[in-house]
Chain A
Amino acid sequence: MSGSGKHTVAQLQRMAMTLREDVIRMLVEAGSGHSAGPLGLADIYAALYFDILQHDPSRPDWEERDILITSNGHTAPIRYAAMARAGYFPLRELQTLRKFGSRLQGHPERTRLPGVETTSGPLGSGLSQAAGMAYSILKLDKQTDRWVYVILGDGELNEGNNWEAAMFAAKYSLHNVVALVDRNSIQTDGTTEEVMPLENLRQKWESFGWQVIEIDGNNVESVIDACSMARAITTRPSVIIAHTIPGKGVDFMEYDYHWHGTPPNSDQAKEALAKLRTLAGTIPDGAKR
């Protein structure tokens, strides 16, 4: 099963590679920003924007659209790249990332860029906003065919607000919430298990009353299937723990937490783009694991 079938899996994989190239170019031009997370999330964003989401780039306020929240706002470059490729705004605007006057702020702002559903950056506030939207859609407006997807960083789960939201969504059986945890196991100061251990993460979510689906987050087909499964559950919210490789596609960045909050310089960017092109479409999923 592969979602709506709007694109083939091979096309989605190629799109993920294109998004990674966009991200590298954006970051080197900006001179600051985060590398590892956006590269690791490319497959998830390709699957969401080009298969999973019910959306219309020409009508960002379409009342029946699905909602996608980027709670880990520092990964904005991958969202911007996916939005531009989907047709929300011209591709050339990607090069304005983090520059004065740009709609592409360092962390995404709803009021500046149509299609950004909420302003984010300070961590831990996305899941509860998703829950508020989902409550409104399900309990007050009685819309049954709309979903609220929210992407959370794993380090972000250190923030207590997430667990308040997890209790809330379970209490009200907000089954129209699908959380995707980018389980890349790094954060600014080191690995997640060094900084503040998250394991056993599956059991944590299960004990909070959530349906847990665990996947290879760099496999677009798995992402699509997991979201289908999540939508089929009508009793409780779902969380997809998506194991990803931080810096995926650029070998000198992969798994290295130092690339969490650092952009490539121009030489590194050249090398990164060359590696992405060489390897495009041929990296076996999870090959380095």
Chain B
Amino acid sequence: MSGFSLAEAIGSDSIVRETMRKGFGRGLVRAGEADETVVALCADLTDSVQMGAFQKRFGDRFIQVGIAEQNMVTVAAGLAAQDKKPFVGSYAAFSPGRNWEQIRTTVCLNERPVCIVGSHAGFSVGADGATHQMLEDIALMRSLPHMTVVAPADSVEAEKATLALAVMKTPSYLRLSRESTPVYTTHDSPFELGRAYVLREGHDVTILSTGIMTYQCLLAAKQLDEQGIAAEIIHVPTIKPLDADTILMSVKKTGRAVTVEEGQIAAGFGSAVTELTAERLPLPVMRLGVQDKFGESGTTDELLDAFGLSALQIAKSVRSFCEITPKYHQGG
């Protein structure tokens, strides 16, 4: 274990819930207090992405660009050229969904330290339907050179991630969800960009997850335990660069891995893990995520269950994976 402290109420109804966006909003204000070059831009969704407090506090350092995501990110590239540290916020479906080429050319190739904040990512935007459910952002962002990609677990980790990205001199993407989610990391939990964390030890299978999926995996692990499967749970908030050492060490021990993400499995988080294991430690890996489909309207819980990403569905999938997959023990 990495000394990772977790809330005691995991799995109970009494666990505190908060939106990840709130943690981001707090982190942004703290980053703005610490560094006067921090600026924030928004495309007509200021309160939605929780930039309101920053706006009230810092006046001209908040820039309203209107519903124009291409302009938002390129204006940010210009601000970065003048030594500012811009955060640009919108729904992930629009940024990076709408403005990918501008991010590629004017931020990444241009090496400007802009942080793209994609809120309402995944199924968390629920009732809005498939148009607004961004499932392809991890793939879009992790394929870009110079880009760091982060999907925090909850609001507390989102705040830490925001502060860490605020001092980075290179481009980054911060993936946030809309709904209130359980706050199960604590102020004492470690967070470092590029690090993955073992939250629960096990020897039968490694479950790797990112963003809000890690909580579902912790719940799934309890169910699996009762069925005699000891799952090791690794939380991977930094999707790029991957913490290869932590991942490989665990997979070497358990002999097989399952990845879980709230997004398309093509070119996403699971793909990143599979690319790593295929080259360094070829073992069976099952990728759970959205299987080449679009979403639809519904509550987040309904959608997670329908797409196989609730704790119950994850546990079922992991169990059958373990049944059909022989363990490849490394080095005896």
Interface residues of chain A, those whose CB is within 8 Å of chain B, are 109-111, 117-122, 124-125, 128-137, 139-141, 160-161, 164-165, 167-168
Interface residues of B (CB under 8 A from A): 39, 60-61, 63, 65-66, 68, 70-71, 74-84, 101-102, 105-106, 109-111
Q: Is the interface of A mostly helix, strand, loop or mixed?
A: helix
Q: A131 vs B75: C-alpha distance in the bound complex, in angstroms?
A: 6
Choose among B63, B68, B77, B109 the residue that contacts A129 (Cβ–Cβ < 8 A).
B77
From B39, B61, B70, B76, A161 is in contact (CB under 8 Å) with B70
Q: B70 to A136, Cβ gap below 8 A?
A: no
B70, B71, B110: most-surrounded residue (chain A CB, <10 A): B71
* A119 and B74 contacting across the interface, CB-CB below 8 Å: no
B63 and A111 within 8 A (CB): no
Contact A141 B74 (CB under 8 A): no
Cβ-defined contact, A132 with B79, below 8 A: yes
- With A122-B101, A140-B39, A140-B60 given, is the CB distance from A165 to B109 under 8 Å? no
- The verdict on A129 contacting B111 (CB below 8 Å), with A140-B39, A165-B74, A168-B65 known, is no
**B70–A160 contact, CB under 8 A?**
yes
Q: Are A136 and B84 in contact (CB under 8 A)?
A: yes
**Cβ-closest 7 pairs across A and B:** A132-B78, A136-B82, A164-B71, A128-B74, A132-B75, A164-B68, A129-B78
**Cβ-closest chain B residue relative to A160:** B70
26 contacts between A and B (CB under 8 A): A117-B81, A118-B110, A119-B109, A122-B101, A125-B70, A125-B102, A125-B106, A128-B70, A129-B77, A129-B106, A131-B75, A132-B78, A132-B80, A134-B78, A135-B78, A135-B79, A136-B83, A140-B39, A161-B70, A161-B102, A164-B66, A164-B70, A165-B74, A167-B66, A168-B68, A168-B71
Contact in complex: B70, A129 (CB < 8 Å): no
Shortest CB distance A156–B (Å) = 14
In the complex, residue of chain A having the shortest beta-carbon distance to the beta carbon of B78: A132
Out of A118, A122, A128, A140, name the residue touching B71 (CB < 8 Å): A128
